[in-house]
């Protein structure tokens, strides 16, 4: 008798391209929850509404147990006023309906260089600000249970 893959893991992460195509929809169908990353820029923040509608549709039609784990602000440049405004807008607009993680993933060169080097950000720059931010995110997710 085959044991479902889920039985062997605490977490299985599907990292999908930022589209609303068949691959992300299939990931939603197979998932218990969705962590929604959104860049601290105007267009990605606007597009997040479509993603959340798609998650809602998948929940209603195919996977009623699908939950939104939370919204994660990414690629945030602390020197950029627009990034602060976008983050604040996300927290105000979505914070009463969805969890918006306290952790914000900063923009950093190491995050762009790591995949090009075929490495995780932890292997490439384990003491860097992006790796530390992802560690905080992991703690935040685990603390929620």
Number of H helices, E strands in the chain: 6, 3
Whether 18 shows a pLDDT value over 80: the answer reads: no
Work out the pLDDT band at 145, boundaries 50, 70, 90: low
What is the per-residue pLDDT across 114-139, written as a single tens digit (0 to 9) for each? 999 999 999 999 999 999 999 999 99
User: String of b and e for 25-63 (b: at least 16 CB within 10 Å)?
Assistant: beebeebeebbbbbbbbeebbeebeebbeebeebbeeee
Specify the pTM: 0.87
Phi and psi torsions of 119, nearest 5°: -130, 160
């Amino acid at each position: 008798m085959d044991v479902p893959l889920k039985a062997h893991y605490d977490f299985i992460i599907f990292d999908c391209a930022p589209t609303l195509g068949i691959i992300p929809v299939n990931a939603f169908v197979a998932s218990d929850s969705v962590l929604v990353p959104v860049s601290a820029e105007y267009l990605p923040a606007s597009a997040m509404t479509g993603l959340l509608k798609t998650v809602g549709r998948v929940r209603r039609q195919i996977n009623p147990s699908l939950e939104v784990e939370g919204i994660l602000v990414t690629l945030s440049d602390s020197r950029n006023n627009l990034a602060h405004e976008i983050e604040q807008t996300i927290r105000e607009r979505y914070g009463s309906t969805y969890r918006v993680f306290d952790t914000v993933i900063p923009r950093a060169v190491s995050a762009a260089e790591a995949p090009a080097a075929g490495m995780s950000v932890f292997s490439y720059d384990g003491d860097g600000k992006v790796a530390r931010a992802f560690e905080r995110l992991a703690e935040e997710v685990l603390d929620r249970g």
